[in-house]
Chain A
Amino acid sequence: MSVLELRDVHLTYRTAAGPVPAVRGVDLTVDAGQVVGLAGESGCGKSSLISTVLRLQPKSATVAGQVLVGGKDVQTLSWSALRAVRWGEAAVVFQGALHSLNPIQRIGAQLVEPILVHDREATPRTAGARVGELLSQVGLPARYADQYPHQLSGGQKQRVMIALALTCDPQVLLADEPTTALDVMVQAQVLELLTGVAAERGMGVLIISHDLSVLATTCHKVAVMYAGRVVEEGPAREVFEHPRHPYVRALARAFPTIGDTTSRYAPAGLPGDPPFPDHLPSGCPFHPRCPEAVAQCPSVDVRLWPAGPGRAAACVHVDGAEVHGAGLR
């Protein structure tokens, strides 16, 4: 059963200079108990995309398509129904835990708040007890409820954010760059914690990251975005090890493989910058940076098409890659 389903989602920002399309038709499903990764460079539209899940996109954005949380389209819900979905059915582990907590409120008060909003039977006492349990579940002493955010380290705050996301037992957990500000050791702990509790409770998890190697080890499925579209998706490990889209190949090569000295000494970068959403190149938006571009790339609009079992990629090479591969390189 899919707990989160995005159907042809578009998100466009209205600006003084005209409309800026940040997300241009994304389909994505997360099933109960499934961990899905969403990768891509900064500015590819991944944060804009997940802002639509709780209808937290800025007022200047218009959203088209359907965003279904537990079968309900959050973009068309009434405000009171939307408030029930927020945190009750889908919760977010926000990017940059440093600023995502209210600096002048105790941790405990911030964790108790959503419980009291969503659980009618909860009293401050029972909610407080639940907060204590949640804190120890994420590996923090229960007495941290009396602390203020600035008294905690970055990793501890990220754990608090995870505990916060779990307060109302949601069906979907969205994690927006949950490990960006953390060092490698803490990163691994946080990801393990995140996927562990999700598996235990049968939640669907969507992890957003620019680090494909992190997603490859923690997710069942990944989708890679470029210029507001998914350019490749499939089982996480396969996509990472045998990418079909030239962009994903470049992204995978940017992270050195541990134990492989050649890749460590020569991590391959990708020259150029991602395009501005208001000045997208014609045809395949990746063609100006693509090492494998051919004459037709600037003129054809490539959509995702099947590229092996459970996989799809948006590249003119994919369908005939097995046949013409050598000639094209």
Chain B
Amino acid sequence: MAVTSPVATELSDDSTPGGGSGGLGRFIGLRLLSGLGTLLFVLLFNFFLFRLLPGDPAARYRAVKNISAQDLARIRDELNAPVMEQFWAYLRDPLALQGISAWKGQPVWDLVGGRAWPTLVLLGTSTLLATLIGIRVGIRAGWRRGGSFDKVSTGVTLLFYATPEFWLGLLLILTFSSGIGPFPSLFPSGGVIDSGIEPLSMAGVVSVAEHTVLPAVALAAVYLAEYSLIMRASIVDELSQEYLTTARAKGLMDHVVRRRHAVPNASLPTITLIFLNIGFIIGGAITVETVFSYPGLGLLTFEAITEQDFVLMQALFLVFTVSVIVCNILADVAVAVLDPRIRT
């Protein structure tokens, strides 16, 4: 005879609802796993993409003077092998650690490494500028929607948002670097540091700063506008939310309602966007770096394409995709930390 189980209809009010902070670790773990999956796909894709490109890589190598005879022989063998064999070779070394640039004749990762820090400096400054200013402007404009600050700032940010950053870069070079009319030549353009200066010295830091100001401003203007517009829209969305009425009814001062209740809720879309943009800017500062001849990864990409250096392109492509994947994960984690609804 079956034993009847206790009736499950009892309404228990004190079962602790699930979730909480325990969900966060699980969320991060799952997100890392799916990021790894994307990376595997990218590694496969990375092989075929650059072998579909037109051009003769061996011819490029022959043009390089300082490549050693052994290296040239090895590269020729590799390029003559059947595609499937090349693919197996690629799978054994998907990061192309031994890859030699067809353009410079140096190991590609040395080239990439040497160009990474200027991009990081540029990216860091412009992101900091864009985030700090853009978010503040957006909050202030949205909180007093239709006010005079809102009207002016929305007009200006829309103008910046519509401006191509390389064109703005050219204007900045004309005005502040070449010097035009009454303007003296304030900032140098071209390069990231004056030759012969050690980057980690005091003079080096000053020189890098001087070279970075203009490209950073050109890059920041566009992103500042984007963050400000998104932040403004998110704040406006929150204005009609009932929990803000609750916060006001509690007797909180206006700026406390804004800072403690409206901004944390409204910042979620902007935070996602900031992280995604960081991922893109690493590879996407191509136009700005090219206009300013700023020797970062963007300019290197431009050079790799013009020189048809597919090994270098492959390495750069890998750097860019990994940075996008990592920033995507960071964006998701940041939002999950801020919003408990995501992680449960």
Q: Taking CB as reference atom, which chain B residue is nearest A51?
A: B245
Q: Are B245 and A87 in contact (CB under 8 A)?
A: no
Contacts of A151 in B (CB 8 A): 17-20, 344
8 Å CB contacts to B: which residues of A79-100? 83-88, 91-92, 94-96, 99-100
Q: Are B339 and A101 in contact (CB under 8 A)?
A: no
Name the contact of A103 in the complex, choosing from B14, B243, B253 (C-beta under 8 A).
Answer: B243
Contacts of A103 in B (CB 8 A): 243, 265, 339-341
Given the known interface contacts A104-B339, A141-B14, A152-B17, the answer about A117 and B250 at a Cβ–Cβ threshold of 8 Å is yes
Q: Does A147 count as interface, using CB distance less than 8 angstroms?
A: yes
Given the known interface contacts A113-B250, A118-B251, the answer about A104 and B241 at a Cβ–Cβ threshold of 8 Å is no
Q: Taking CB as reference atom, which chain A residue is nearest B18?
A: A151
8 Å CB contacts to B: which residues of A98-119? 99-105, 113-114, 117-118
Q: Are A86 and B14 in contact (CB under 8 A)?
A: no
- Distance between Cα atoms of A156 and B15 in the complex (Å): 12
Least CB distance, B244 to chain A, in whole angstroms: 9
Name the contact of A86 in the complex, choosing from B251, B260, B340 (C-beta under 8 A).
Answer: B251
Q: Does A150 count as interface, using CB distance less than 8 angstroms?
A: yes
Q: Are A102 and B249 in contact (CB under 8 A)?
A: no
Name the contact of B245 in the complex, choosing from A94, A104, A117 (C-beta under 8 A).
Answer: A94
Q: Are B341 and A148 in contact (CB under 8 A)?
A: yes
Contacts of B247 in A (CB 8 A): 102, 113
Q: Are B251 and A114 in contact (CB under 8 A)?
A: yes
Q: Does A146 count as interface, using CB distance less than 8 angstroms?
A: yes
Pick the most buried of B16, B249, B265, B344: most chain A CB atoms within 10 A of its CB.
B249
- Distance between Cα atoms of A146 and B245 in the complex (Å): 23
Least CB distance, A53 to chain B, in whole angstroms: 10
Q: Taking CB as reference atom, which chain B residue is nearest A147?
A: B17
Contacts of A56 in B (CB 8 A): 245, 248-249
Q: Are B249 and A86 in contact (CB under 8 A)?
A: yes
Q: Does A44 count as interface, using CB distance less than 8 angstroms?
A: no
8 Å CB contacts to B: which residues of A253-274? none
Contacts of B114 in A (CB 8 A): none
Q: Taking CB as reference atom, which chain A residue is nearest B261?
A: A102
Least CB distance, B335 to chain A, in whole angstroms: 10
Q: Are B17 and A143 in contact (CB under 8 A)?
A: no
Given the known interface contacts A86-B251, A103-B341, A104-B264, the answer about A143 and B16 at a Cβ–Cβ threshold of 8 Å is yes
Q: Does B338 count as interface, using CB distance less than 8 angstroms?
A: yes
Contacts of B339 in A (CB 8 A): 103-104
Least CB distance, B121 to chain A, in whole angstroms: 34
Q: Does A54 count as interface, using CB distance less than 8 angstroms?
A: yes
Q: Taking CB as reference atom, which chain B residue is nearest A97?
A: B242
Contacts of A147 in B (CB 8 A): 16-17, 20
Q: Does B252 count as interface, using CB distance less than 8 angstroms?
A: yes
Contacts of B19 in A (CB 8 A): 148, 151
Contacts of B18 in A (CB 8 A): 151
Q: Taking CB as reference atom, which chain B residue is nearest A164?
A: B246
Q: Are A83 and B264 in contact (CB under 8 A)?
A: no
Q: Are B341 and A88 in contact (CB under 8 A)?
A: no
- Distance between Cα atoms of A118 and B253 in the complex (Å): 12
Contacts of B248 in A (CB 8 A): 56, 86
Contacts of A164 in B (CB 8 A): 246
Q: Taking CB as reference atom, which chain B residue is nearest A85?
A: B251
Q: Are B249 and A91 in contact (CB under 8 A)?
A: yes
- Distance between Cα atoms of A95 and B243 in the complex (Å): 11
8 Å CB contacts to A: which residues of B206-232? none
Least CB distance, A114 to chain B, in whole angstroms: 4
Least CB distance, B236 to chain A, in whole angstroms: 14
- Distance between Cα atoms of A258 and B341 in the complex (Å): 41
Given the known interface contacts A103-B265, A104-B264, the answer about A148 and B340 at a Cβ–Cβ threshold of 8 Å is yes
Contacts of B14 in A (CB 8 A): 141
Contacts of A118 in B (CB 8 A): 251
Given the known interface contacts A103-B341, A150-B341, A150-B344, the answer about A84 and B251 at a Cβ–Cβ threshold of 8 Å is yes
Name the contact of A117 in the complex, choosing from B16, B251, B264, B341 (C-beta under 8 A).
Answer: B251
Chain B contacts to A: CB under 8 angstroms? 13-14, 16-20, 241-243, 245-253, 260-261, 264-265, 338-341, 344
Q: List 12 A-B contacts (CB under 8 A).
A: A86-B251, A91-B249, A94-B245, A100-B242, A100-B245, A102-B247, A103-B265, A104-B264, A140-B13, A146-B20, A148-B19, A148-B340
Instruction: Give 9 nearest A-B pairs by CB, closest first.
Output: A151-B17, A86-B251, A83-B251, A114-B250, A148-B340, A99-B242, A102-B243, A87-B251, A100-B242
